[in-house]
Amino acid sequence: MEKNFKNLFTPIKIGNMTVPNRVVQVPTDISTGDSDGAVNDRVIAYHEELAKGGTGLIIVGASTPDRETGRPTVTCLSVDADFFIPGLHRLAHAMQKHGAKCAVQIQHPGRQAAYPRKNQMSCSDMISDLPGSAGHEVIYAGDTAQGKIAREMSVDEVYDLIEKFAEAAWRVQQAGFDCVELHGAHGYLIAQFMSPYTNKRNDRFGATLTGRMRFPLEIIDRIKRKCGPNFPILVRYSGEEWMPGSRFIDESKEIAKMFEAAGVAALDISAGIFDAPGPTMDPMYYEEGWNTYTSEAVKSVVSIPVITSHTLRSPEYCDKIIGEGKTDMAGLSRQLIADPYWANKAKAGKPEEIRKCISCLIGCWKESLMIKREMRCAINPAVGDMRFLDIQSAKTQLKAAIIGGGIAGMEAARIAALRGHKVTILEKDNELGGILRTCCMVPAKQKMKWYMDWIRRQIAGLGIEVRLNVDAAKEDLSKFDVVLAGTGGKTFVPDIPGADKAVKFEDVLICARKNCEFWPKEGKPEAAKTGQKVIVWGNHYAASDTAEALAIRGREVILVTEDAEFCPDIEPIHREVMKMRFAGGNAQGLEGTPIKIPVVIHTKSTILEIKADSVVLMDANFRKEVIKADTVILAKQVPDDTLFNSLRDKGLKIQNIGDSRAVMNVRNAMTNGAEAGLLLDEGIFMNANGILSGGLPLDVEKQMAR
């Protein structure tokens, strides 16, 4: 395949607007606006990066036409008043000056609003309990989850909102945007009207396909009247909604024809509604381009441009589907969060430099929009933290040693080297990667290798010295100006009879392939042997990944956890899909091999004793039970800070980062490492709260050093 991706970089017309290439940022609500929904510098900085990165069309994420009744996230942008126009204009200009075309997506969330909480209006009366959505209410401690009550809008309210959508589009046009998009996907208000699953009305806005389509078509008609016939209107909707009784591809093709006839300039075909969160936000399980068939189907019945999206990551794939006529444009959301320079890197023939999104949904969803915070990214520290947007050279160049080449260590090394420090990584194993290497064994986690591959590549390209198979305790570390310990976590071994008979999860998740691209060297350790019936004891990614890796290989897996529910802390959409798979099924739209023997989960239980062929389990009612098992796997992690403590006690200037400080997920390990890399030359120290700090006033720094 040619590396200049001709199909991707051929201009295309949407209405009378020419988009310079086929790369679209499909709408992404970064939830970073001001509290009233105004554009601010952080919103501009995020979108300007996308434009600088060569994205052809940038569709700014869900923006509300009516703050009073519906915000998809608490700090989404607002387009419901004229005083937002100047800010929106700054935003449009920041993208257009780099040659990008831009749109704003207008969205009313209906039942899925993040605010207000009560009396939420929707297309029909309904109770929504959608734990994967950003509109899901945080349940107050002590409250029981009951779902959010939404009520059917009156016809007057529907007409009022149609007008508000049109006025919002007019403001987008006044602000200088090139086009506007309507959000009819993912179960938000327009989708609620369009879908037989949510539209239970018997009036002119429901009952039949014509009735269900009246709401979006009237909005389009009103926009055309307000903005004139030449202002392109795009519509996003899901090709398949994936719930019984919802819309599937045949009706979506009919709808496409209706939109084209109404004068819509392009169709942006997405997937899912939040009742089926898997296909809506596709966690790691979903393969690249799994949703492309829907744009292909829609393209077969219309002649306006069609955009596809969902887990598009590589320019090779995107270029190919455009060439094959399956889509006209490639829509990327999370990929551009992870790397806004995707298009430029592809155009320059350097696709291997792209930091591919790993679909973890931790930074951009679980730890931000879902809990009413600004968007972050697990692998790109610059998202939401302007200090990483334009990394400055260090004033003083230091010699830094980083013990441990796991996530935190590698990211610290990368940022420190970018700042000009001379960095050496001392790694005890024969490869960099740390816990990331266990991902080879878990089908759903294959994408994590992309990040491992990318960061290893950066480390090699930045001239960082990597010393493998090194015992740092035996090294003379005093020759370094600063030392970071990123020695990772270790498996917790409980103090119970028979604990020595158990196997550690990290010894099980050793990739079985010899000399694969991530383990190219000799000397790879053998994985621990496991029997047919296996107990996995733990309840976080370590446990769920181990359970999945073994279940997919035909083992009978029993998961034991003291927690009240299965994996409460892992990303909820990933968990939802995993639960379906552990039950022996598959999530919607997923074609991965199902697990043959369902995983049995014992919650609120613990293990009292491990015997040769069984364990003694105790449940929440203190009932003891003997369960047969060939192998018991310990899958709880604790920090491995032994080396850090001993070096610090010897008086070495050393800071602890990543899992050896506290066991953390990929986002927190990456952020912690990035922070350390940034602060290295600022007199990095651990403050009284156990947090890495830097930039002390000189007089305080001198006092601290004495």
Hey, what are 50's tokens? Answer: 């996308």
Given the structure tokens 């010393």, which residue do they identify?
467
Rounded distance between C-alpha atoms, residue 160 and residue 167, angstroms = 11
Q: Please, which residues have CB within 8 angstroms of residue 429's CB and are 6 or more apart in sequence?
A: 405, 468, 469
Q: Could you say whether residue 454 binds ligand FMN (CB under 6 A)?
A: no
Pick from 22, 183, 524, 555: which binds ligand FMN (CB under 6 A)? 183
Minimum distance from residue 272 beta carbon to ligand FMN (Å): 9
Minimum distance from residue 133 beta carbon to ligand FMN (Å): 11
Pick from 185, 213, 256, 634: which binds ligand FMN (CB under 6 A)? 185
For ligand FMN, the closer of residues 183 and 524 by Cβ is 183
Task: Establish whether the linkage from the previous residue to 116 is cis, with ω within 30° of 0.
Answer: yes
Q: Could you say whether residue 270 binds ligand FMN (CB under 6 A)?
A: yes
Annotate 584-649 with DSSP letters as a single string.
T---TT--SPPPSSPPEEE-S-EEEEE-SSEEEEE-TT--EEEEE-SEEEE--EEE--HHHHHHHH
Minimum distance from residue 266 beta carbon to ligand FMN (Å): 14
# binding residues, ligand FMN (CB under 6 A): 25
Contact range with ligand FMN by CB under 6 A, out of 44-52, 308-316, 554-562, 603-611: 308-316
Residues 309-368 interacting with ligand FMN (rule: CB under 6 A): 309-312, 332-335, 364-365
For ligand FMN, the closer of residues 270 and 530 by Cβ is 270
CB count within 10 Å of CB 408 equals 34
Task: Specify whether 451 is catalytic.
Answer: no
Minimum distance from residue 239 beta carbon to ligand FMN (Å): 12
For ligand FMN, the closer of residues 131 and 498 by Cβ is 131
Rounded distance between C-alpha atoms, residue 496 and residue 490, angstroms = 18
Closest of 310, 193, 198 to residue 243, by C-alpha: 198
- Alpha carbon separation from 456 to 303, 425, 644 (Å, rounded): 44, 12, 24
Q: Could you say whether residue 544 binds ligand FMN (CB under 6 A)?
A: no
User: How long, in residues, is the chain?
Assistant: 706
* Residue 302 C-alpha from the chain's centroid: 32
Pick from 33, 37, 61, 278: which binds ligand FMN (CB under 6 A)? 61
**Please, where are the H alpha helices in 361-420?**
407-418
Q: Is 148 helix (H, G, I), strand (E, B) or coil?
A: strand
Q: Could you say whether residue 282 binds ligand FMN (CB under 6 A)?
A: yes
Binding mask 500-539 for ligand FMN (x = CB under 6 A): ----------------------------------------
For ligand FMN, the closer of residues 375 and 647 by Cβ is 375
Minimum distance from residue 369 beta carbon to ligand FMN (Å): 5
Contact range with ligand FMN by CB under 6 A, out of 249-257, 303-311, 496-504, 656-664: 303-311
Pick from 71, 101, 224, 236: which binds ligand FMN (CB under 6 A)? 236
C-beta of residue 591 within 8 angstroms of C-beta of residue 569: no
Closest of 180, 370, 346 to residue 274, by C-alpha: 370
Minimum distance from residue 627 beta carbon to ligand FMN (Å): 40
Binding mask 6-45 for ligand FMN (x = CB under 6 A): --------------------xxxx----------------
C-beta of residue 199 within 8 angstroms of C-beta of residue 130: no
Element (H, E) at 491: strand 489-491
Contact range with ligand FMN by CB under 6 A, out of 305-313, 429-437, 541-549, 565-573: 305-313
C-beta of residue 658 within 8 angstroms of C-beta of residue 669: yes
Contact range with ligand FMN by CB under 6 A, out of 304-312, 430-438, 510-518, 574-582: 304-312
| DSSP label at residue 73 | S
Pick from 43, 172, 227, 375: which binds ligand FMN (CB under 6 A)? 375
Buried b (16+ CB within 10 A) or exposed e, 315-325: beebbbbbeee
For ligand FMN, the closer of residues 197 and 365 by Cβ is 365
Closest of 399, 453, 451, 401 to residue 427, by C-alpha: 401
Helices vs strands, H then E, count in the chain? 19, 31
Minimum distance from residue 334 beta carbon to ligand FMN (Å): 3
For ligand FMN, the closer of residues 291 and 656 by Cβ is 291
Minimum distance from residue 521 beta carbon to ligand FMN (Å): 33
Binding mask 391-430 for ligand FMN (x = CB under 6 A): ----------------------------------------
For ligand FMN, the closer of residues 309 and 665 by Cβ is 309
Q: Could you say whether residue 216 binds ligand FMN (CB under 6 A)?
A: no
The sign of the dihedral angle between the CA atoms of 564, 567, 568, 573 is negative
Pick from 7, 21, 105, 672: which binds ligand FMN (CB under 6 A)? 105
Minimum distance from residue 14 beta carbon to ligand FMN (Å): 17
Rounded distance between C-alpha atoms, residue 531 and residue 243, angstroms = 38
For ligand FMN, the closer of residues 130 and 615 by Cβ is 130
Minimum distance from residue 317 beta carbon to ligand FMN (Å): 12
Rounded distance between C-alpha atoms, residue 173 and residue 77, angstroms = 15
Minimum distance from residue 203 beta carbon to ligand FMN (Å): 27
C-beta of residue 354 within 8 angstroms of C-beta of residue 315: yes
For ligand FMN, the closer of residues 109 and 206 by Cβ is 109
Contact range with ligand FMN by CB under 6 A, out of 16-24, 307-315, 456-464, 564-572: 307-315
Hey, what are 689's tokens? Answer: 């709260």
For ligand FMN, the closer of residues 178 and 571 by Cβ is 571
Closest of 645, 639, 3, 667 to residue 316, by C-alpha: 3
Contact range with ligand FMN by CB under 6 A, out of 5-13, 306-314, 321-329, 569-577: 306-314
Rounded distance between C-alpha atoms, residue 31 and residue 376, angstroms = 10
For ligand FMN, the closer of residues 288 and 682 by Cβ is 288
Candidates 46, 115, 140, 188; catalytic one: 188
- Alpha carbon separation from 300 to 184, 249, 289, 327, 427 (Å, rounded): 20, 12, 18, 10, 54
Buried b (16+ CB within 10 A) or exposed e, 694-706: bebeeeeeeeeee
For ligand FMN, the closer of residues 364 and 402 by Cβ is 364
Hey, what are 155's tokens? Answer: 């016809």
Rounded distance between C-alpha atoms, residue 652 and residue 634, angstroms = 33
Phi then psi for residue 627, to 5 deg, are -115, 130
For ligand FMN, the closer of residues 101 and 414 by Cβ is 101
Pick from 12, 57, 166, 369: which binds ligand FMN (CB under 6 A)? 369
Minimum distance from residue 241 beta carbon to ligand FMN (Å): 13
- Alpha carbon separation from 495 to 146, 245, 268 (Å, rounded): 40, 52, 56
Minimum distance from residue 368 beta carbon to ligand FMN (Å): 7
Exposed, middle or buried by CB within 10 Å (0-12, 13-18, 19+), for 659?
buried
Active-site amino acid positions: 188
Q: Applying CB under 6 A, which residues contact ligand FMN?
A: 26-29, 61-62, 105, 183, 185, 236, 270, 281-282, 309-312, 332-335, 364-365, 369, 375
